[in-house]
């Protein structure tokens, strides 16, 4: 039997298993109504338990990387009865009415923020993604790809390091293997890495280079799409020969800036260090006297562009904070109404 511990199942998750009629499993791919999972019996398929996920309505829908509890079925789809609490996750706004966010990847240790040196490099976006990564609870690493196409990339390395203080920056080439050794610290057995980067930056190529051969085995699941055609989808979480797992899912490309406020401090340690020296603790760094941020910009210590993106991100973070607060408020009201209805019914039955 296979040990799920090799797939990152540790005490954080096992402590959440209180009923032994269920077995743990990890989600490796999400399809429309079907999941690919790995459990002690190997790779298999699963569906959601209707009573728990649709009628109850509070259980979080599983995503790639999630640990779930299943009723194992040897001769067909297993049944997913619970999504275990996540250690880390990324989410985006959920288009489904009544649900505010939708997770796109879960339970990763490291985020590889990827940009290609030749056309995609953008320090502003690195700032945003580093903030998003810190906020998820995982460790960001910046990977600048296609180094073989560049004569020099010292400038980009420096800009990236300035954009995300404290984050390791590595220039690599999937084509020549340059720089890949720098990544071995993160590629440890049982560890999970998620790729974050636009289409074309070289995510599949890096995965194949780390795998040592073509890793993109097309998964064996065939699912009818809405037009009745068959579509084949590849696995979204892959285990490398070294024992680390890579999550590379299309959902990651559509990540917006959800709730970034709690990651802002780590990305903007430089700005916040100046801000802490302003005369007024509620300084808005506009026209206040004794503003250390303004002073640092004026004497050239702090790039004005850097301050501008800090302000912009703060505004966005505030907006999404307000938005999630409003959503939480609404859910509160709904729950209160449901409670009243139940009490009302009970009274009628008596």
Window of 145-153, 179-187, 227-235, 296-304 that interacts with ligand GDP by CB under 6 A: 145-153
Shortest CB 155 distance to ligand GDP, Å? 19
- As a whole number of angstroms, the distance between CA 331 and CA 29 comes to 30
Shortest CB 181 distance to ligand GDP, Å? 15
Residue choice 105, 239, 278, 296 for contact with Zn ion (CB under 5 A): 278
Interface with Zn ion in residues 288-327 (CB under 5 A): 291, 293
Could you tell me the CA-to-CA distances from 85 to 67, 232, 263 in Å, in that order?
8, 30, 20
Q: At what angle do helices 123-136 and 154-163 cross, to 10 degrees?
A: 40
* Residues 242-261: x where in contact with Zn ion by CB under 5 A, - otherwise, as a string: --------------------
Question: Which lies closer to ligand GDP via its Cβ, residue 11 or residue 199?
Answer: 199
Structure tokens at 104: 């796109």
Where do the H-state alpha helices sit in 240-303? 261-267, 269-275, 292-298
Residue choice 3, 20, 199, 299 for contact with ligand GDP (CB under 6 A): 199
Interface with Zn ion in residues 170-189 (CB under 5 A): none
- Choose from ligand GDP, Zn ion, none: what does 283 bind? Cβ within 5-8 Å by kind: Zn ion
- Choose from Zn ion, ligand GDP, none: what does 174 bind? Cβ within 5-8 Å by kind: ligand GDP
- Tell me the pairing of strands 230-234 and 168-171: unpaired
Instruction: Count, in order, helices (H) and strands (E) of the chain.
Output: 9, 15
Asked if residue 113 lies in contact with residue 197, where contact means CB atoms within 8 angstroms, the answer is yes
Shortest CB 308 distance to ligand GDP, Å? 29
Residue choice 88, 115, 173, 309 for contact with ligand GDP (CB under 6 A): 173
Q: Residue 175 interacts with ligand GDP (CB under 6 A)?
A: yes
Structure tokens at 53: 């996920």
Question: Which lies closer to ligand GDP via its Cβ, residue 205 or residue 324?
Answer: 205
Task: Quote the strand ranges of 3-128, DSSP E.
Answer: 23-30, 35-39, 42-48, 67-71, 78-83, 89-93, 101-106, 110-116
Q: Residue 251 interacts with ligand GDP (CB under 6 A)?
A: no
Q: What is the DSSP code (8-state) at residue 217?
A: P
Interface with ligand GDP in residues 54-113 (CB under 6 A): none
Asked if residue 94 lies in contact with residue 102, where contact means CB atoms within 8 angstroms, the answer is yes
Q: How far apart are the first and last CA of the chain?
A: 53
Interface with ligand GDP in residues 204-233 (CB under 6 A): 204-205
Shortest CB 154 distance to ligand GDP, Å? 18
- Choose from Zn ion, ligand GDP, none: what does 145 bind? Cβ within 5-8 Å by kind: ligand GDP
Q: Residue 49 interacts with ligand GDP (CB under 6 A)?
A: no
- Choose from Zn ion, ligand GDP, none: what does 291 bind? Cβ within 5-8 Å by kind: Zn ion
- As a whole number of angstroms, the distance between CA 220 and CA 106 comes to 23
- As a whole number of angstroms, the distance between CA 303 and CA 309 comes to 10
Shortest CB 174 distance to ligand GDP, Å? 4
Question: Which lies closer to ligand GDP via its Cβ, residue 59 or residue 148?
Answer: 148
Q: What is the DSSP code (8-state) at residue 69?
A: E
Q: Residue 149 interacts with ligand GDP (CB under 6 A)?
A: yes
Shortest CB 309 distance to Zn ion, Å? 16
Region label for 98, one of left (φ > 0), alpha (ψ between -120 and 50) or beta (otherwise): left
Where do the H-state alpha helices sit in the chain? 11-14, 50, 123-136, 154-163, 203-211, 261-267, 269-275, 292-298, 304-349
- Choose from Zn ion, ligand GDP, none: what does 204 bind? Cβ within 5-8 Å by kind: ligand GDP
Q: Which residues bind ligand GDP (CB under 6 A)?
A: 145-146, 148-149, 173-175, 199-205
């Amino acid at each position: 039997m296979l040990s799920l511990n090799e797939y990152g199942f540790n005490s954080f998750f096992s402590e959440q298993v209180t009923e032994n009629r269920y077995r743990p499993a990890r989600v490796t791919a999400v399809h429309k109504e079907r999941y690919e999972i790995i459990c002690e019996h190997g790779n298999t398929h699963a569906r959601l338990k209707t009573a728990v996920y649709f009628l109850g309505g509070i259980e979080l829908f599983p995503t790639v990387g999630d640990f779930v509890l299943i009723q194992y079925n040897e001769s067909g789809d297993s049944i997913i009865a619970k999504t275990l609490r996540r250690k880390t996750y990324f989410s985006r706004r959920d288009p489904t009415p009544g649900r505010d966010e939708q997770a796109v990847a879960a339970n990763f240790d490291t985020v590889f923020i990827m940009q290609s040196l030749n056309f995609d490099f953008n320090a502003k976006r690195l700032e945003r993604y580093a903030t998003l990564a810190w906020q998820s609870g995982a460790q960001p690493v910046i990977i600048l790809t296609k180094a073989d196409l560049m004569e020099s990339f010292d400038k980009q390395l420096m800009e990236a390091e300035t954009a995300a203080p404290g984050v390791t920056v590595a220039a690599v080439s999937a084509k020549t293997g340059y720089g890949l050794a720098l990544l071995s610290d993160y590629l440890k057995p049982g560890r999970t890495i998620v790729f974050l980067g636009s289409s074309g930056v070289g995510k599949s190529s890096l995965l194949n280079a780390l795998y040592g051969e073509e890793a993109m085995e097309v998964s064996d699941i065939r699912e009818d799409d809405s037009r009745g055609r068959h579509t084949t989808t590849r696995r979204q979480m892959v285990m490398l020969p070294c024992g680390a797992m890579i999550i590379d899912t299309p959902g990651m490309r559509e990540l917006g800036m959800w709730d970034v406020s709690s990651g802002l401090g780590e990305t903007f340690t430089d700005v916040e260090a100046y801000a802490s020296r302003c005369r007024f603790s509620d300084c808005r760094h506009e026209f206040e006297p004794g503003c250390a941020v303004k002073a640092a910009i004026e004497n050239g210590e702090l790039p004005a562009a850097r301050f501008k993106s800090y302000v912009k991100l703060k505004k966005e973070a505030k907006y999404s904070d307000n938005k999630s607060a409003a959503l939480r408020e609404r859910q509160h009201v709904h729950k209160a109404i449901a409670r009243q209805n139940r009490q009302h019914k009970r009274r009628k039955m008596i």
